[in-house]
Structure 1
Amino acid sequence: MKKIKIFLIIGFLTAIIALAGVYSFYALSQETKIMDTSARKGVAGKFIRLSKGITRYTLEGPDTAKTIILLHGGSVIGDYVWEKNYKALVDSGFKVLKFDMYGRGFSDRINEAQTLDLFVSQINELTDSLNLSGPFEVIGVSMGGSIATGFADKYPEKTDRIVLISPIAVNPGKKRWYIDNPLLGNFLVSVYWYPRCVQKQMAEFFDRKKLAEYESHLKYLSEFKGVKADARSAWSNILAEDLTPAIERLQERNKKVLLIWGKQDPVVPIAASEKYKKILPSIKLQEVDQAGHISNYEKPDVVNAAIVSFLKD
């Protein structure tokens, strides 16, 4: 009996050491870069220090024009997701602001929970710092749809029309106890999720073969410290928050909303648009064929035309 106990203890310790070794092997080879002045050298756009950290942004268009705010999703790729939309909107006569949210693109990685309030506050502080006056046209894709909804809910007087592209807002994910657990969460994210994160995000498109440049940017930005921590925090906070009440208040305030959805979206299937149509009877839906979760990047001509038509109607 004593030998069996000793054997079990040795087996248990061996397993722990093996798992620690596997974790160390993966962790030491991940997130090898730091987002700092050196990493930002030569990067397009401007940088501004807000209360919680540095934010990279780009702002173009006539001073007299209506301002559009573009809000990217939860991917570390940041505002690059608007690469095929930004110039088209500027050329259509709008003043357009795009920026990297905290933890993404070339903005600071900050040690703070990835909550809706964090990003809504970042928008408000950035627009105030740039002396931009609303009401704004707010466009958000994926997680950015939640942020657009949250901003419109907290600052209805600063928001005019809203465009939601495959939004997460009323389709939140579930909080997972094992992701919140510091040890187990870090282990799973390091060993399982991170090695596959680029591949998983590229699978969100209808045809990834045509998107080599997007994939290249994604791989590069995934190498910076903070990707894993921010992903875990977003899953447990903003991406797990149900914004149905906020969507309902958009209806009460008569906000005009355009919904754009890739017909082949594997992340949030287009059938989820029915929830929005029930809450917002006046909502307009633009379906985009042969497009996945980020239809604005995959089918920019269709999406740009729909946005411009909606905002100029």
Structure 2
Amino acid sequence: MKKNAYTKTMITLAGAKVYCEYFLNEKPPILLLHGFVSSTYTFNRLIPLLQKNFSVIAIDLIGFGRSEKSTTFIYSYANYARLVAECIDYFQLKNVTIAGHSMGGQIALYTTRIIPQKINKLILLASSSYLGKVRKSLIYSSYLPLFHLIAKRKIQKQGVKQTLTNALYDPSFITSELLEEYGRPLEEGNFYKSLVRLLRHREGDLKPEQLQTIHTPALLIWGEKDNVVPLHVGRRLVKDLPNAKLITYEKAGHLITEERPKEIYEQILSFVLKT
């Protein structure tokens, strides 16, 4: 593994090819986890700032971004957590800070439950929380041979631009590059098959009594205009996590890493290195 050079590569985790970007030095490690139908690009404005004070690792979760769209991987949060734990071992990391956006926040919570001794701090950016398992009728339907085409039609009907408009407070952040990066994975053939497997296997978010067992210090960061995971979710989550605090930003939406990268960086810096 290269050190002191920003590296983009594929590594093998959980038996699949996983896209990874990393910058390793002797500074504290931070692992970045993106959300649903997203990728490491979620952190494109944050990573250059983090590199000043951290060793940074970001991965595309199996099924998303440039990673393999596996049709054998069990797309449960527990399995994703094991994937993240394997990634931590791969890079031989200790005292890791995990920063997860949206669904990545829920995976960060799952990971912390299985390897609490390796996680130093949690950063939860508009973290998915309190969602239950998909209803059984939809799970049964997911076994239909062409069900992935229904998922494809639904996602493509909404469109990348509309999705991003809903995720941002300020639509001026939508650039051609942003549209390209979020749209590219949607063109891959197996993307929708892996998406259906996630629909089928996702066991639901951690329940309050499970959250209450996570004592790792956690910083929750939310946009007050989040239309995807509303602020009331963050206010509930900060009460269920025993050692957590919540920071909010007005005039910011769900994709807060795009709209407020400098502020997030400063909060992470203060939370991880100065507390």
Letter in 2 for 1:256: P
Q: In the alignment, which residue of structure 2 is the partner of 1:147?
A: 107
Secondary structure, aligned partner of 1:228 = helix
Q: Could you say which structure has the larger radius of gyration?
A: 1
SS of corresponding position for 2:56: strand
Contact 1:296 1:304 in 2 (8 A): no
**1:205 and 2:165 matched:** no
Which TM-score applies when normalising by structure 2?
0.87
Pairwise mapping of residues 1-313 of structure 1 onto structure 2 (< 5 A)? 45-63=8-26, 65-75=27-37, 77-91=38-52, 93-111=53-71, 112-130=73-91, 132-172=92-132, 174-175=134-135, 177-178=137-138, 180-181=140-141, 182-183=143-144, 185-202=147-164, 203-212=166-175, 213-238=177-202, 240-250=204-214, 254-280=215-241, 282-312=243-273, 313=275
User: For residues 153-200 of structure 1, what are the alpha-carbon distances to aligned partners after superposition, in whole Å with 9 as ceiling and x for unaligned?
Assistant: 000101111010111133446436235403384353233333324245
CA–CA distance in 2 between the matches of 1:201 and 1:62?
Answer: 36
Give the superposition deviation at 1:218.
1.2
State the 1:67 CA deviation.
Answer: 0.8
Q: Residue type matched to 1:145 in 2? A: G
2:4 maps to none
Cα gap change, 1:243/1:148 in structure 2, threshold over 3 Å: closer, same or farther? farther
| Larger helix proportion of the pair | 1
Give the C-alpha shift of residue 255 in structure 1.
1.6
Amino acid at match of 1:118: N
**Cα pair distance change 1:305/1:262, threshold 3 Å:** same
Partner of 1:152, secondary structure, is helix
Deviates more, 1:171-180 or 1:193-202: 171-180
Aligned equivalents of 2:202, 2:216: Cα separation in 1: 22
Give the whole-Å Cα distance in 2 for the aligned partners of 1:239 and 1:74: 15
Shift of 1:243: 4.1
Letter of the aligned partner of 2:32 in structure 1?
L
Aligned residues, how many?
A: 263
The answer (yes or no) to whether the contact 2:24–2:56 under 8 Å persists in 1 is yes
**Counterpart-to-counterpart distance in 2, 1:279 and 1:261:** 16
Identity %: 21
Report the Cα distance in structure 1 between the residues aligned to 2:60 and 2:42, rounded to whole angstroms.
10
**Cα distance per residue 1:57-101 (max 9 Å; x no partner):** 1221422x21111111111x311101011111111x211111111
Q: Indicate conservation of the 8 Å contact 1:169/1:244, yes or no.
A: no
TM-score (norm 1): 0.77
Deviations 1:188-238 (A, max 9, x none): 323333332424531221123322121121112211122222223333433
